[in-house]
Amino acid sequence: MGEVELSCLAYAKMYLHASQFPRCSVNGLLLSSSPAGAAVCITDCVPLLHSHLSLAPITQLALTQVDAWCSQTQQRIVGYYQANACVSDSSPTPCALKIAEKIFEQCNNAVLLMIDGEKMFPGCRVPPIVMYERKDARWTLKDKHTIMLRQWEETCSIVNQLFSSGDQTLLVDFDSHLDDITKDWTNQKLNAKIMELISPANGNV
């Protein structure tokens, strides 16, 4: 596997998800709107659960719905992310490995990202992410230098702006959607807010 590129949109939503439920383990799916190829470009993510991550029926329901939505929006599931409840633990759990394996069956360059809670603070010089790839029939730690988050300082600034304006409350994960089906797990409102902030910072949308 070559380099993995993580968009500001995907990173911001992962970060907000972990921050919204700081005492819980959270997880989600990584999406790409790019065609299949050597490089993985993660353009978006879908926050899934913040409780009972190991419940297979809910996870299967979420995977099915996200897969159907991806088919409609020309996206594909290319990976999985998780933040553990214990901030000092960024190792993949059996649940993380099982879901990542299921994704790998459909995407042979799938990635598994673990959020490093100890590095989730303003001003962190590197993305608080530990990346794993499927190699030799197992998930192994990938060289941290092969993950790219373009314009890292601008991305951090955007995340800080979202927090200062209280926009993290806009994030809806699949768990919250199951509690109230009127809540939009595709997060169109939050996506629009993030893209609005990206545009002047990066000169594009």
How far is residue 38's CA from residue 25's CA, in Å, rounded to a whole number? 31
Block mean pLDDT (10 aa), the chain, length 205: 85 95 94 81 95 83 94 95 94 95 93 93 84 90 75 91 90 94 96 90 49
Half-sphere exposure of 41 (CA within 13 A, CB side): 8
* Per-residue tokens: 174: 């699949």
The domains of the chain are located at 4-198
**What's the CATH number for 4-198?**
3.40.140.10
Rounded Cα–Cα distance for residues 185 and 66 (Å): 9
CA distance 148 to 36: 18
Tell me the pTM: 0.93
